Structures are given as structure tokens and as C-alpha cells.
Amino acid sequence: MAVSDRLGRLRSITGTEGHTSDVDDDSREVHLADAVARGIQGGFVATLMMTAFRLPLLRSLPPSANFWSQYIADGEPDDHPVAGLVLHLLYGVGSGALFGGLFSLYTAGRSIEPEGRGLVWGSIYGMVLSAFGVQVMLHALLDIRLEADELALFHAGHLVYGLSLGAWVGSRTEGVENPDREYEYDDGN
């Protein structure tokens, strides 16, 4: 199915609100599937951006390398850089899929443009993931305690992830005037 056909189907969903036919159920399923797909794409991009932000600052692999070396393979985290990065990417893509689905279901802020909602909810989501990462992944599962400066950069990295994810998903959500059109300034690009 072509991208323009998908976009047309997404636009038609808004015209079926309030109906109780099978079309509504199909439209909701298609809408949710498309939203999850946007979340997967956004999670991939956001994880790359977060990793590019954190690697030069912390000069270490993501904690997923620690998880890999402790629970899946033997050795030190530095022995498994590719596995650690792939696992980190899978976490990010999975979290992006969840965000995409949740973002499509949330209707209370519909008066705000999707890009703005994406930035707000993406940053909140990123910080929730960061808190989960510290409390569950680092403390409970890996018994890692970050120093204050490392913890600040850990949270900043997740904020970068959330902002990137929210911007991606919000800018590709239905209701955007023309998602295929590139943003232009008054003078052009």
C-alpha cells in the first residue's frame, strides 16, 4: 500500500468519529497499527540520537551492555559492545512503539497541535523511562549506582530520547496539514 493511500486512510478515520459500525473498529485498529509503526520509526531515530548524545559524554556503552554481560553472556560489558548497542536499540524501538500507541489513544490535548503534544508528552515519557531505568534496570537488576554527574547525563540522554521521539511521532500524526510537505521558512529552505 502506498504512503499516500495510508495517509488517505488516516484522514478518513477522523470522519468516522462517533459511529458504531464495523468501520469504526477497523479504523481504530488501522489507526493504532499506524501509530505503533510511527512509534517504532521514532524509537529507532530517537535511540540513535540519544546514543549519539551519550556516548561521547559518558565514554561508555549503554547499561544494556551490562545487562547482556550479566544475564545473557559471560565477561565484561566491554566484551559485548555490539550486543549492548543492539539491545539498547531494541529497548528504544520497543519503547517507541508503546509511545506511538499511547499517543494515538490520548485525546485530552487534541486542541494542541500534534507536534506540540509530541514534544510535551515525549519529554515526560523520556523522563519516566529514565526513572524506570535508574530504579529498575540500574539499581534492582544490575546493582549499578551512578554518580551525580553520570546520573544527570543519564537523565539528559533520556530527555533527548523523549523529545526526539515526541517530535517524530507528533510531526507524523494525523491532523497534520500535509505530512509529505517539508517545513519551509518564509524564504524557502
pLDDT in tens, 98-154: 999 999 887 655 678 888 999 999 999 999 999 999 999 999 999 999 999 999 999
Tens digit of each residue's pLDDT (9 = 90 or more) over 65-107: 999 999 999 899 999 999 999 999 999 999 999 999 999 887 6
pLDDT at 24 over 90: no
pTM: 0.79
CA distances from 34 to 9, 25, 30 (A): 10, 14, 6
CB 130 within 8 A of CB 155: yes
| Averaged pLDDT, 9-27 | 48
Q: Examine residue 17 and state whether it is found in any structural domain, yes or no.
A: no
CB 166 within 8 A of CB 125: yes
Q: Examine residue 30 and state whether it is found in any structural domain, yes or no.
A: yes
Which of helix, strand or coil describes residue 185? strand
H or E segment to which residue 49 belongs: helix 22-58
- The grid coordinates listed for 156 are 539528559
Count of domains for the chain: 1
- Give the domain extent around 102: 24-171
